[in-house]
Amino acid sequence: MGKGDKRTKRGKLFRHSYGKSRPKPRKIRQDKAKAAAPPPTEG
């Protein structure tokens, strides 16, 4: 269990990836959710 273990937080940091043990920062997730939402339709 260390840098080579992609299931641990240390491994995620080493590989620059995200997942259960290292969730993405909250602000980034909120910004992406806003961008992915369809624009409101008027009519």
Q: Higher confidence at residue 41 or residue 14? A: 14
Q: What is the pLDDT of residue 15?
A: 93
With 80 as the cut, is the pLDDT of residue 11 above it?
A: yes
How many domains does the chain contain in total?
1
Does 43 fall in a domain?
no
Whether 41 maps to a domain, the answer reads no
18 within a domain of the structure (yes/no): yes
30 CB-near residues (< 8 Å, 6+ apart): none
Residue 10 pLDDT exceeds 90: yes
Q: Is the pLDDT of residue 9 over 70?
A: yes
Domain hosting residue 6, numbered range: 1-32
Reported for 17-23, long-range contacts at CB under 8 A and 24+ positions apart, including other chains, are none
Give the per-residue pLDDT at 43. Answer: 64
Q: Per the domain annotation, does 42 fall within a domain?
A: no
Q: What does the pLDDT look like over 14-37, one tens digit per residue?
A: 999 999 999 988 877 777 777 777
Residue 37 domain-assigned? no
